[in-house]
Each structure stands twice: as structure tokens, then as C-alpha cells.
Chains A and B, each alone.
Chain A
Amino acid sequence: MSSTKKIIVITNSFLLAAGVESLALEIRGLLVDEVFSGSEKKLCEKVLLKKPDLIIIDPVSLGEHLIPTLRTLREEPETLIAGLVSESMKENVKSKFSHQLVKDAPKYQLIEELQSIIGKYIPEENSKTLSKREVEILKNVVLGLSNKDVADKLFLSVHTVMTHRKKIARKLGIKTVSGLTVYALMNKIVDMREVERRT
């Protein structure tokens, strides 16, 4: 595992969060970005904005908010979700999570579990260079076209365009249109005159 992964832990227990963080530090290339606590409405929004690779949820701290929280978080299909469960936890809570970290398990087992979750399921990008299609989409985005315009022009669905845009952002590490513009200009994907002509 060479690239850095972002993990967010949702819990109101400081000890649990610190525990998960220390566990994650044992795995190379893993970065615990931030630890969120509480169960307020804004939490999901905040967490998703950070674009984590994995969200670890302590179901106990969320209580009745667990189901609505999961529903919102699952709208981002590329983000993995794991539950911090324990042996004694009710089956109907445990079954909400397809990935689980068992709190009472010994260290080596926890590390293995965590590694298998993030290592196995996160699609590895072999190449950081953009594909032909991605370059084409990047060019149009930089020239000021909306997702809909790009889709119409290239005979794609808006959804496909958005998927490509997400991939571009991930590959380059650049998210904003102005940042992409600088990249495209530096790499001569567009030239200054074209950019200045955009509406």
C-alpha cells in the first residue's frame, strides 16, 4: 500500500478514537485525518466534505441516529464504512455493517481486519496519468463547460462525466476548477487564449 488513505472515526468516546488512531498508525500509508465526535445533523456533511476513504463508526455513540447517519454516508459509494462492534452487541446493530472491527479483539487481529478492509476494497489507481478521455473532459471543464454541456458534447451521461471528474480530482489531487485550469495550462492541455475566451 503506497498511497495515503484518509480515515475518519465517528465517536464521542475520546479513548476509542485515540485507540483507533494508534491502530491505524501501525499500518503504513494510513493517515487518520480527523476524529469527529457527537451525532449532530451537520456531522455527516462535515465528514463527507473531507472525502475520506474509510469511515469508522462507533454505533453506541450514535444511538438512534445510526440508521439515518448510515443512509446519508452511503450516498458516497466510494467511501467505505466499517462498524466498531463488540461481541456483546445486538445482532441487528452488527448486521448494519458489512465491514467490522471487533473492539474486544487482540491487536494483531484488529490490524489484519483494518488492513483487509482498506487494502482489499479500495480501488488502487495504478496510473496517476490521465486517460485520453479524462484529458478531453478536463479540457472542456477548464474551458468553462458545465457537466451537462460536457456530457452533450461528448455523448456521455452527466453521471459518467461526474465519475470522470471525481477520478481526475483523485489522480491529480486538485479539486477546484481554478486549480485544474493551472494544471491544464502548465501541461499545455489548453492554452491561455482559449481560457481567456471562455464565458
Chain B
Amino acid sequence: MILEKEMKLSEVILHDYNLVPIINRFGIQLGFGDSTIESVCKNKDIDLDFFMTILNSFHDPQYMDKEYLRSFPVELLINYLKETHKYYLSDKIPEIEVIIDDMVVEARDDKGPYLLLQKFFKDYVYELKKHIDREEALVYPYVIKLSSSLKTASIPDSVISMVKEYSITLYEKEHDDVEEKLNDLKNIIIKYLPTVKDQKNRFLLLKELSALENDLADHARIEDLILIPKVEILEKKALLG
């Protein structure tokens, strides 16, 4: 189902619980009564087109409306992507770490496998951080600079040569190894961790890892399907002068 701005936000959230973290990222708190998406956005000063794009792309991965692509500033998108990075690093990852730490404590006799799990996750987080740092230090500043120079009367030569040299299409994705590690981790938990009676933490860990996996996939999709095409448009503009 395609979500429309005239719909009540409460009904949308009832229909798809997975959208709760999204509205949270936009600073919308529960308790918005019967307001439509449009009026909630207006109250909170949120760009409606942008909000609809993100909401719909999370709700239905196959949905991507090209028309929305052009209508909001790229800075909003960058801010949003940065917010999601923050959410992973300061909310999600620590939550998962607590579960794993708990599992290490619970295992009385043979802590070996759990310590391995702990170490594996630590390495994974290190790599994820490296990937995020690279995006925030290189890719995003490039996009911001490109966009802001297009607003000036004449585009500086330095920006044009930057576009020629860099170009977003060259922006190699390193998601893959990070994705594969997460998948390996799930397989290890499902298939190879020694069987125990109390599986509560194990189930919780699997649930959290799957949620993180979905979130990261959505993040990557937004980069591929919204950010990159948008920046390609900006690059074309810059080169045409």
C-alpha cells in the first residue's frame, strides 16, 4: 500500500509498527491524536515530500517514487542518514552488546563460544564504524559542497574539477562485507552455538540482529535509490554550468 499525506499518522503506525523508529528519528512523539501526516509534518516543521519518501520506502521496499526525488534538498537527506548512523552506534549496537555480555555471564562452565561471539561482534562493530566514518568524512561533505556551490551565481572551478575527479558513481560500496558478517553471525547463533536450556537471550539477540540487518538494508537502499540519483543530477548540473 502506498502511504499518502492525507492519511492519519496513527492509522499508518497501527498498520506498520516498523515505522515507529522512523517517526522517532524525525522527532515525532507518540500522542499525535487523529492528525494527518501532513499536519503532523507542518507542526513539526518537517519537509513533507522528504518524510513521505522515507516513510514509503521503509513501508514497501519496492516502492520508490521518482517524482519525490527532485523535490527536497539533498542536505535533508544527508542529515537523515547521519541521524540513522547515530541511532545504530549509540542505540542499537550497545543494546546488542548488553545481550551478548549477558550471555557470557550466564554461561557458567564453558564461556569459550560466547567470548568468541563477543569478539566477533566487536570486530563487526569496528568495521561498521570504519564504514560510517568514511561516509561522514568523505562522501557527505562532497555532496554538501556540491549542492551549496550550485546555489551560488557561478560554480567555482575547484568544484567542477572535484566532480570530474570524484563523482558519486565511483562511490564504492563497502556494505557487502559488513552485511555478510552479520549474516554469518546469525548462522553461527542458529546453527553452531552449543544448545542450552534457557534460550531467552539467544532469541532476543537474533531478533535484534535481524532488526539491525533490516535497518542497514533500508539505509543502503536509500543511498542507492535516492542519494546517488540525486547527486548524479547535481553533478550533471555542475558540469553543464
A74 within 8 A of B: no
Q: Which residues of A contact B112 (CB under 8 A)?
A: 185-186
| Contact mask for chain A residues 172-184; partner B; CB cutoff 8 A; 1 contact, 0 none | 1111101101110
Quick check: which of B23-31, B43-51, B113-121 contacts chain A, the rest being far away?
Answer: B113-121
Among B120, B176, B193, which residue has its beta carbon within 8 angstroms of that of A178? B120
Q: Which residues of A contact B123 (CB under 8 A)?
A: 178
Among B62, B176, B184, B193, which residue has its beta carbon within 8 angstroms of that of A179? B184
Q: Which residues of B contact A172 (CB under 8 A)?
A: 187, 191
| Contact mask for chain B residues 148-188; partner A; CB cutoff 8 A; 1 contact, 0 none | 00000000000000000000000000001100110111011
Give the contacts of B100-121 with A (CB-CB under 8 A): 112-113, 116-117, 120
Give the contacts of A130-189 with B (CB-CB under 8 A): 172-176, 178-179, 181-183, 185-187
Which among B112, B123, B188 has the highest number of chain A CB atoms within 10 Å?
A: B188
Q: How far is the CA of A14 from the CA of B61 in the complex (A)?
A: 13
B17 within 8 A of A: no
Q: Which A residue's beta carbon lies closest to that of B178?
A: A176
Q: Which residues of A contact B116 (CB under 8 A)?
A: 182, 185-186
Number of interface residues of A (CB under 8 A): 16
Which among B177, B184, B194 has the highest number of chain A CB atoms within 10 Å?
A: B184
Inter-subunit contact A175/B180 (CB<8 Å): yes
Chain A contact residues: helix, strand, loop or mixed:
helix
A89 within 8 A of B: no
| Contact mask for chain B residues 173-216; partner A; CB cutoff 8 A; 1 contact, 0 none | 00011001101110110011110000000000000000000000
Q: Which B residue's beta carbon lies closest to that of A183?
A: B192
Q: Which residues of A contact B183 (CB under 8 A)?
A: 173, 175
Q: Which residues of B contact A173 (CB under 8 A)?
A: 183-184, 187, 191
Q: Which residues of B contact A186 (CB under 8 A)?
A: 112-113, 116, 188, 192-194
Inter-subunit contact B187/A179 (CB<8 Å): yes
Q: How far is the CA of A182 from the CA of B23 in the complex (A)?
A: 38
Q: Which residues of B contact A187 (CB under 8 A)?
A: 192
A31 within 8 A of B: no
Inter-subunit contact B191/A179 (CB<8 Å): no
Q: How far is the CA of A175 from the CA of B120 in the complex (A)?
A: 14
Q: How far is the CA of A174 from the CA of B185 in the complex (A)?
A: 8
Other 16 A-B pairs with CB < 8 A, given A172-B191, A175-B180: A35-B62, A49-B176, A173-B184, A174-B184, A174-B188, A175-B183, A175-B184, A176-B180, A178-B120, A178-B184, A179-B120, A179-B184, A179-B185, A182-B116, A182-B184, A186-B116
Listed in ascending order, the chain A residues whose CB lies under 8 Å from chain B are 14, 35, 49, 172-176, 178-179, 181-183, 185-187
Could you write out 30 A-B pairs with CB less than 8 Å apart?
A14-B62, A35-B62, A49-B176, A172-B191, A173-B183, A174-B184, A174-B188, A175-B180, A175-B183, A176-B180, A176-B181, A178-B123, A178-B124, A179-B180, A179-B181, A179-B184, A179-B187, A179-B188, A182-B117, A182-B120, A182-B188, A182-B192, A183-B188, A183-B192, A185-B116, A186-B113, A186-B192, A186-B193, A186-B194, A187-B192
